Amino acid sequence: MLASTSSAAATAAITTHTNTNASCARRRNFSSDVQHHQRKRNTNNSEFRRQRRQKRRNNGDSTLFVTRAESGGFGDGITNNGLTREISEDVDTVLLDCDGVIWHGDALVPGAKKAVDYLRETLQKRVFFVTNNATKTREYYQWKFSELGMEVDVNHIYTAAFASASYLSAIGFNNTHGSTTTKDGSSSSNKKIYVVGEQGLVRELEECDVGDIVGGVYEAVSCTSSDWEEMHEWTGGDAENDHDDDSRVDAVVVGQDTSFTFAKLAYASYLIQKGAKFIATNPDAGDRLGKEKLLMPGAGPIVKAIETASGRAPDVICGKPGKYMFDAIMSHSHGDPQRTMVIGDRMDTDVKFGKDNGARYSVLVLTGANKMKDVEENEDESKQPSFVVGSLAEACGIPFDPNEPTQRVGERANMAKNYPVGDGTVHDLWASGDDDMDDDDDDYDDDDFIPAT
């Protein structure tokens, strides 16, 4: 029963592993659910230890090992070895989600830098940073890591924007330079891409040289039925002769776009109905922001709108939990899923990302979106974590203090001026075309990426 892979059985077997010397006052902060489990454990301590030993013997699938419970219980100084044995012995590659794991917005999560250092330097694991954000470039994230005290190779950063560019490259979207030029000097054989998304996504697609980004409807908001009927003319399309039409658009890439309009909805669905590839950066409904932690719309609602309007599902959803990004990272790193651990704060993206794609361990940390309650109520095996730990630090056996002061983006005064990240925008240097930047990254090899199957 304990090794059962059914989520119901796994949920029933949830136990907590905390220092029994913790003060009662502290313990009262834990959720009532967890208190219940603690009481059960305390009344039968040897049975608890036996169960725990048995659980740790199997590979961790559907077995929950809680090093820390609900957020209310943080800060009582309890430590243990976390998942250090599993990481040391069973995995070579660790895929780390960023927001909710390494940082909260602009602030480092306590202990996260130490944990990353431990994984990369002490244990010498290959660590990749994997985010479903498709509004920023990898260079932006490299800068953000640097601001938070970590030096990260841009090739170890996977965003949903980069995954989208990689996918396009893998299916033959690669600019030709100079070989086939028209009279006005443009490369006529380049694929044409229409983007519904932020400037960071546009910039990433340009960086990866996967096609020419077309302007589309620019700043237009509305699209009346007359506009729609004229769309055929102003796109220069011709239903019978699409194959030799210079104005044909080959792909529509759709991500979160805080300036989404009906005109973009109409134009994107028009192009998809005309045969353009439909690439979704990621499926996230949104991020929980603000005092009330309500969902602010992400890429998901925009993708759904265009899917409904065009009558066609995306050809690929590039980000987590999809197969494409996982396979791309494995291929790039010559990694083995069975020697890979995924660590994230969301069951529907991070945990599912690992489970659906055959990772050895899929670990949920409780510093972000999902809480212990979500795990206990979950009935979907594909979202059931192998382990639940309080934080990334604790997964690495590092003490976690939620009140520990941490580095914030922008505290390095000289850089701060250039990156007004607080409002979700990115400085022009990274967000839009800049001729001074080196477009050729020799370390990056498109051939390492494979298309989704």
Count of beta carbons in the 10 Å neighbourhood of residue 190: 18
Closest CA to 6 of 348, 379, 388, 389: 379
> How near is the Cβ of 210 to a copy of itself at its closest, in Å?
25
Closest CA to 131 of 97, 165, 107: 97
Query: Collapsing DSSP states into helix, strand and coil, what is residue 257?
Result: coil
Residue that has been written with the tokens 């890979």 in this structure: 340
> How near is the Cβ of 262 to a copy of itself at its closest, in Å?
4
> How near is the Cβ of 294 to a copy of itself at its closest, in Å?
5
Nearer to a copy of itself, 283 or 335 (CB): 283
> How near is the Cβ of 179 to a copy of itself at its closest, in Å?
33
**Residues interacting with a copy of itself, by CB under 8 A?**
221-226, 228-229, 231-232, 239, 257-262, 265-266, 269-270, 273-274, 285-287, 289-292, 294-298, 300-302, 304-311, 422-425
Phi, psi of 39 (to 5 degrees): -60, -45
> How near is the Cβ of 310 to a copy of itself at its closest, in Å?
7
Residue that has been written with the tokens 């979106």 in this structure: 369
Nearer to a copy of itself, 378 or 391 (CB): 378
Residue that has been written with the tokens 């509305």 in this structure: 222
Nearer to a copy of itself, 61 or 227 (CB): 227
Q: Is 93 exposed, middle or buried (0-12, 13-18, 19+ CB in 10 A)?
A: buried
Nearer to a copy of itself, 16 or 235 (CB): 235
Tell me how far CA of residue 379 lies from CA of 7, 283, 354, 368, 385, in angstroms.
Answer: 6, 21, 17, 20, 12
Nearer to a copy of itself, 41 or 320 (CB): 320
> How near is the Cβ of 299 to a copy of itself at its closest, in Å?
10
Nearer to a copy of itself, 74 or 419 (CB): 419
CA distance 382 to 350: 11
